[in-house]
């Protein structure tokens, strides 16, 4: 691990030099560092789940924060609590994996169905009218936090998820997140390159928001959906900033057809002499469109 971090820091220094040149408590609180229901802020958001953390200089780690849902909860708006050091977060919900509520060290394994994901700079996501993320009593929330400290000083913070709730009578569709892009075989060679991930969609899935997720080498992303025999529909077409991974609302929403193609193009500039591969570390690379959909129809094909 120490060797990996050291190598990563060398990459990060090279990249940095290049850039410089160019309402209802749904769970039971677990005490400080692992809990929910901390009250609403001025925007009506309430903390769903969060954890305090401390990260030594030049290190990274994963934390898993578990919380059992106590009340039926419909979420109409959601936003991450992401102080510096929070690389990304994935919120999952499903049957308990047999582990107690609270915060533990873990890895990047996504063991439950994903219902929301965020990167650096992701802001508030307001779901369309009639659409909500649903948590049911007895489910266990699992928040997977990736923390990364690229500084030479210790960092501390509190990371988590805040929500706004809506009455069940206002909900017609239940939403979740689809991770679409390229993972297996992703290689970013020196200088400029574009990597592409494509998946085949099911019928009747509505895609209403998408956010780009790459790491420090990403410069541009396009995401398009092409129905069978039809023309590509652009969902994302913009320059990429690691510090501003914001959801793009789809107007109109994109409704998939069986056999349609969802294509993610990620463009990079790698100032180092070495290939950079897919990986969880900030000094590795990724190519994903974090896509909010309803109904939830997760497909592993979208991450290959």
Q: Closest Cα to residue 271, out of 216, 221, 220?
A: 216
What does the pLDDT read at residue 39? Answer: 53
| pLDDT exceeds cutoff 60 at 86 | yes
Delimit the domains of the chain by residue range. Answer: 2-174, 178-303
Give the percent of the chain with pLDDT over 70: 84
What does the pLDDT read at residue 256? Answer: 95
pLDDT band, very low/low/confident/very high, at 26 (cuts 50, 70, 90) = very low
| Average of per-residue pLDDT across 203-220 | 95
3-state helix, strand, coil in the chain (%, to 5): 10, 50, 40
| pTM of the predicted protein model | 0.81
Tokens found for residue 146:
């990736």
DSSP character string of 146-206: EEEE-SSS-EEEEEEEEEEE--GGG-SEE-EEEEEEE-TT-EE-SEEEEEEEEEE--SSPE
Backbone dihedral angles phi then psi of residue 134, each to the nearest 5 degrees: -115, 130
Q: Closest Cα to residue 15, out of 263, 285, 297, 231?
A: 285
What does the pLDDT read at residue 42? Answer: 57
| pLDDT exceeds cutoff 60 at 134 | yes
Task: Give the pLDDT confidence of 226-276 residue by residue, as tens digits.
Answer: 999 999 999 999 999 988 999 999 999 999 999 999 999 999 999 999 999
What does the mean pLDDT of the chain come to? 85
| pLDDT exceeds cutoff 50 at 28 | no
Choice between 238 and 31, residue whose per-residue pLDDT is larger: 238
pLDDT band, very low/low/confident/very high, at 150 (cuts 50, 70, 90) = confident
| pLDDT exceeds cutoff 70 at 176 | yes
| Average of per-residue pLDDT across 37-58 | 83
What does the pLDDT read at residue 297? Answer: 64
- Between 2.60.120, 3.40.50, 2.60.40, 3.30.160, what CATH number should domain 2-174 receive? 2.60.120
What does the pLDDT read at residue 221? Answer: 98
Q: What is the CATH number of domain 178-303?
A: 2.60.120.230
Give the percent of the chain with pLDDT over 90: 70
pLDDT band, very low/low/confident/very high, at 76 (cuts 50, 70, 90) = very high
Choice between 110 and 21, residue whose per-residue pLDDT is larger: 110
What does the pLDDT read at residue 97? Answer: 82
Domain 2-174 matches domain 178-303 at the CATH topology level: yes
pLDDT band, very low/low/confident/very high, at 298 (cuts 50, 70, 90) = low
Task: Give the pLDDT confidence of 182-204 residue by residue, as tens digits.
Answer: 988 899 999 999 999 998 999 99
């Amino acid at each position: 691990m120490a060797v990996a971090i050291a190598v990563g820091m060398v990459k990060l220094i090279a990249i940095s030099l290049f850039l410089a040149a160019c309402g209802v408590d749904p769970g039971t609180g677990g005490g400080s560092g692992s809990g929910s229901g901390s009250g609403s802020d001025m925007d009506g958001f309430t903390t769903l789940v969060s954890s305090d953390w401390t990260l030594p200089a030049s290190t990274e780690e994963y934390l898993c924060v578990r919380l059992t849902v106590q009340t039926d909860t419909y979420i109409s708006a959601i936003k991450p609590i992401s102080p510096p050091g929070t690389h990304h977060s994935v919120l999952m919900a499903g049957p308990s994996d047999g582990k107690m509520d609270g915060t533990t060290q873990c890895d990047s394994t996504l063991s439950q169905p994903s219902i929301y994901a965020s990167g650096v700079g992701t802001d508030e996501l307001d779901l369309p009218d009639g659409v909500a993320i649903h948590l049911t009593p007895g489910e266990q929330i699992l928040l997977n936090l990736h923390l990364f400290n690229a500084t030479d000083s210790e960092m501390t913070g509190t990371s988590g998820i805040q929500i706004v709730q809506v009455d069940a009578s206002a909900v017609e569709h239940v939403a979740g997140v689809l991770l679409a892009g390229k993972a297996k075989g992703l290689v970013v060679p020196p200088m400029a390159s574009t990597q592409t991930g494509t998946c085949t969609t099911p019928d009747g899935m509505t895609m209403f928001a998408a956010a780009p997720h790459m790491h420090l080498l990403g410069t541009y992303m396009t995401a398009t959906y092409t129905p069978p025999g039809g023309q590509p529909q652009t969902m994302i077409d913009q320059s990429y900033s690691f510090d501003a991974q914001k959801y793009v609302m789809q107007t109109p929403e994109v409704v998939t057809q069986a056999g349609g193609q969802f294509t993610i193009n990620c463009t990079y500039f790698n100032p180092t002499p070495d290939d950079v591969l897919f990986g969880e570390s900030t000094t590795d690379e990724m190519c994903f469109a974090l896509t909010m959909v309803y109904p939830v129809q997760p497909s592993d094909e979208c991450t290959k």
